[in-house]
Amino acid sequence: MRGALEARGIEATGRLSSEAVGDIYLDGRVLVIRKITVEYRLEGELDDDQKETVERVLGFHAAKCPVARSITPCIEIETRLEYA
């Protein structure tokens, strides 16, 4: 996400943080991850055009992420963004 934002002229280093939370279920006697929610937090002021760019990047970046591509479709990935 950081690299995609910076490639589009939006400074993210030191401004972007994330937290991932997994939804874990018991399947028989085995714990299974079914969904991972990644919540990004972007600090600092952005104009409307920059926010539009950030939203667009949020919409496609998981499809370009090696980790996300490796675990889907077995594990659903949801991304969210908070501006701070």
Query: Are residues 43 and 15 in contact, defined by beta-carbon separation less than 8 angstroms?
Result: yes
* CATH code of 10's domain: 3.30.300.20
Range of the domain at 9: 2-83
Per-residue pLDDT of 24-64, as tens digits, reads 999 999 999 999 999 999 999 999 999 999 999 999 998 99
- Amino acid of residue 80: R
The pTM for the full model equals 0.86
pLDDT on residue 73: 85
Asked if the model's pLDDT at residue 22 lies above 90, the reply is yes
Structural domains in the chain (count)? 1
Asked if the model's pLDDT at residue 7 lies above 90, the reply is yes
Query: Are residues 33 and 75 in contact, defined by beta-carbon separation less than 8 angstroms?
Result: yes
pLDDT on residue 38: 95
